[in-house]
Amino acid sequence: MGQNFNTIIDSNTPVLVDFHADWCGPCKMLAPILKQVKESLGDAIKIVKIDVDKNQPLAVKYQVRGVPTLLLFKNGKQVWRQSGVLDKQEIIAIINSNS
């Protein structure tokens, strides 16, 4: 995933990365919220889900110690990060302020 991941985040379109795990309750709560964010913003955002158990090197690289952790990238640079569940409006506001 490493090289492919760099290609994905190196984009003019903001890329929201959701580091999650199958066993994580809050991650399951966040999934439908992210779906609503994508429905609201359409092509203005890319959302990528990364399973920390299947992509450990990536989780280590970005120092993800808890899930869910959201990272926002713009042109390959991390512009924001937060752990935990946020609501749809908070996530949209963060994306809009960084796009």
Per-residue pLDDT tens over the stretch 56-85: 999 999 999 999 999 999 999 999 999 999
What are the chain's domains? Answer: 2-97 (3.40.30.10)
Indicate if the pLDDT at residue 3 is higher than 80. Answer: no
Q: Return mean pLDDT, the chain.
A: 95
Q: What is the mean pLDDT of residues 31-49?
A: 97
The DSSP-derived string for 4-57 is HHHHHHSSSS-EEEEEE-TT-HHHHHHHHHHHHHHHHHGGG-EEEEEETTT-HH
Mean pLDDT of all residues in 78-97? 97
The mean per-residue pLDDT over the stretch 30-35 comes to 98
pLDDT at 50 over 90: yes
Element (H, E) at 97: helix 88-97
Given this model, what pLDDT does residue 99 score? Answer: 78
Choice among 24, 48, 85, 92 that is catalytic: 24
Catalytic residue selected from 16, 21, 27, 33: 27
Active-site residue, 66 included? no
Q: Tell me whether residue 68 is one of the annotated catalytic residues.
A: no
